[in-house]
C-alpha cells in the first residue's frame, strides 16, 4: 500500500506499482492525487545556477555560499516536506540566524495556533467517522480540495456508532459564499453567506441557540439550523480558508461559538489543511520554539511576530531558500516581486514559476513517490510512508543536511 501526498488526507489505501518508469492502473487514487503523482513524469527540475545546468554538488555549494554570506536569510515553504526534512530545516535556520516561515503564515496559521494551543477542541478524522452525526463544512469545499474527505471520513462511510451513515444518521451542512460541489450534495442544508459575512452568520447562530430571532439569513432556515445543532450528539466543523480569511482578527467569535455549542453538546474543529505536511511543520516548530510559524533566530533565540512573516520578511531579507512551495504563483504580487529581487535558492522536484526565477535550483525526490518519510495529516495523526519508485535524486532532508554541512 502506498500513501498519497497530494493533500493533507494522506490516503493510505493506494495500490500503485511502477512499471517501465510509469505508474498505470493505480487504484483508489483520486483525480487530484493522480495528477500529483503523474506530474512526477513531466517538467522535472535539473540542478541549475543562473539558468545554466550544472552538477548537483556545484548547485549545493553555491546555495551554501549564498546563505552563508547573507545577513538575514529567509527560509520559506516546508509544507510539502517530510517531518525529517523540516527538523533539519529548523536546525539550519538556527545555525544561520535566519527567519523561518511556512505556508500557514498566509493560510490557516491563526486557526492552527488556536487548535494546537488547545483553545479550540479538536479530534481525529477516525473519530469523525466513528462518532460524528453532523459535519459542517464552513468555508471549505472538500469535494474540490480534498476529494476523498467525504467518502473516507466525514459523510459517507459507516463508523462504529454510525452504522446507517449518510442515509439516516449523518447530516452534512455547507456554509459557503457560493454553491460549491460539496453544497450540491446537501442542497437542503446549504447556507449561503455574503463574502466576509461569516462573523455575522456566527452571531446569528449564537442568537438562535439562545432562542432569539437571528438578524441575518432566512429566519425559518436559521431556526432549523439551530435545532439541528441542538439535536446533534457529536458534531464537527471543518473550518476552511474561506472562514479563516473572512474572520481574521474576529477569530474569538469562533471560539465563543464553539464554547457555546460545547455547553449544549459535543462539537469539534478540524482545520482543512491544504498541503500534506503543513500541520507537521507547525507542530514541530511549536515544540522547538513555542511558536507555530513566523520565527526569526536573528538574535540567537526565537522571536515571533508579524514582522517575521513571509510577507514582511520578503522585503527585508537578502537571500531566500524556498523549499517545496511556489510563492511566485501563490503569494501577493508585491511579496513575489520583493522575493524575486533577492538571490533565491529553490528546492523543488518540479518546475514552477519560482524555480524559473531562482538563482540556484536543486532538484529533489518527490516525497511519497520517490522518497519516504513522515507526514502529519490534517487532524494531527502521524503517517509514515515508504517510496514507491526508485530514484537517484536526493531527498529534501539529504539536500538540507548537505547545505548545512557546507556552511
Applying CB under 8 A, which residues contact other proteins? 13-15, 24-35, 129, 143-144, 147-148, 150-153, 155-159, 166, 181-182, 184-185
Cell of 209: 441557540
Residue 162: CB minimum distance to other proteins, A: 10
Element (H, E) at 316: helix 310-316
User: CB-wise, 125 or 258, nearer to other proteins?
Assistant: 125
SS3 content of the chain, % helix, strand, coil (to 5): 45, 20, 35
Q: End-to-end CA distance of the chain, in Å?
A: 39
Helix spans in 149-235 (H): 149, 165-168, 181-185, 198-209, 219-231
User: CB-wise, 117 or 184, nearer to other proteins?
Assistant: 184
Residue 375: CB minimum distance to other proteins, A: 18
Residue 33: CB minimum distance to other proteins, A: 7
User: CB-wise, 147 or 324, nearer to other proteins?
Assistant: 147
Q: What is the DSSP letter of 154?
A: I
The C-alpha angle with vertex 310 and arms to 329 and 106, in degrees rounded to 5, equals 70
User: CB-wise, 9 or 273, nearer to other proteins?
Assistant: 9
Residue 146: CB minimum distance to other proteins, A: 9
Report the alpha-carbon distance of residue 406 to residue 172 in Å, rounded: 53
User: CB-wise, 30 or 83, nearer to other proteins?
Assistant: 30
At 304, phi and psi to the nearest 5?
Answer: -125, 145
At 201, phi and psi to the nearest 5?
Answer: -65, -35
Residue 160: CB minimum distance to other proteins, A: 9
Q: Give the residue among 267, 284, 275, 287 at the shortest CA–CA distance from 241.
A: 275
User: CB-wise, 59 or 175, nearer to other proteins?
Assistant: 175
Residue 42: CB minimum distance to other proteins, A: 16
Amino acid at each position: 500500500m502506498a500513501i498519497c501526498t497530494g493533500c493533507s488526507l494522506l490516503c493510505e489505501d493506494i495500490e500503485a506499482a511502477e512499471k517501465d518508469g510509469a505508474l498505470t492502473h493505480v487504484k483508489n487514487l483520486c483525480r487530484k492525487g493522480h495528477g500529483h503523482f503523474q506530474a512526477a513524469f513531466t517538467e522535472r527540475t535539473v540542478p541549475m545556477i543562473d539558468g545554466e545546468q550544472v552538477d548537483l554538488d556545484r548547485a549545493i555549494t553555491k546555495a551554501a555560499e549564498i546563505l552563508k554570506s547573507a545577513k538575514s536569510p529567509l527560509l520559506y515553504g516546508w509544507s510539502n516536506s517530510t517531518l525529517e526534512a523540516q527538523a533539519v530545516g529548523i536546525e539550519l535556520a538556527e545555525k544561520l540566524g535566519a527567519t523561518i516561515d511556512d505556508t500557514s503564515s498566509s493560510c490557516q496559521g491563526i486557526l492552527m495556533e488556536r487548535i494546537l494551543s488547545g483553545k479550540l477542541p479538536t479530534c481525529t478524522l477516525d473519530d469523525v467517522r466513528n462518532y460524528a452525526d453532523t459535519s459542517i463544512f464552513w468555508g471549505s469545499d472538500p469535494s474540490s480540495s480534498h476529494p476523498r474527505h467525504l467518502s473516507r471520513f466525514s459523510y459517507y462511510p459507516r463508523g462504529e456508532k454510525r452504522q446507517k451513515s449518510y442515509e439516516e444518521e449523518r447530516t452534512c451542512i455547507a456554509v459557503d459564499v457560493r454553491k460549491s460541489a460539496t453544497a450540491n450534495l446537501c442542497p437542503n442544508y446549504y447556507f449561503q453567506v455574503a463574502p466576509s459575512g461569516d462573523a455575522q452568520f456566527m452571531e446569528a447562530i449564537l442568537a438562535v441557540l439562545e432562542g432569539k430571532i437571528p438578524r441575518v439569513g432566512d429566519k425559518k432556515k436559521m431556526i432549523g439550523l439551530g435545532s439541528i445543532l441542538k439535536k446533534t450528539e457529536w458534531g464537527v466543523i471543518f473550518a476552511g480558508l474561506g472562514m479563516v480569511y473572512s474572520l481574521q482578527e474576529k477569530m474569538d467569535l469562533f471560539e465563543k461559538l464553539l464554547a457555546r455549542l460545547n455547553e449544549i453538546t459535543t462539537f469539534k474543529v478540524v482545520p482543512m489543511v491544504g498541503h500534506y505536511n503543513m500541520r507537521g511543520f507547525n507542530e514541530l516548530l511549536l515544540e522547538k520554539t513555542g511558536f507555530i510559524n513566523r520565527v526569526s533566530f536573528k538574535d540567537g533565540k526565537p522571536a515571533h511576530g508579524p514582522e517575521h512573516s513571509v510577507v514582511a520578511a520578503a522585503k527585508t531579507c537578502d537571500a531566500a531558500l524556498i523549499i517545496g512551495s511556489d510563492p511566485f504563483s501563490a503569494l501577493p504580487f508585491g511579496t513575489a516581486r520583493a522575493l524575486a529581487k533577492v538571490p533565491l535558492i529553490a528546492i523543488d522536484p518540479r518546475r514552477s514559476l519560482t524555480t524559473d526565477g531562482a538563482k540556484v535550483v536543486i532538484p529533489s525526490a518527490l516525497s511519497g513517490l520517490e522518497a519516504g518519510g513522515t507526514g502529519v495529516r490534517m487532524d494531527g495523526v502521524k503517517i509514515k510512508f515508504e517510496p514507491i519508485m526508485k530514484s537517484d535524486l536526493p531527498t529534501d532532508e539529504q539536500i538540507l543536511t548537505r547545505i548545512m554541512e557546507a556552511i
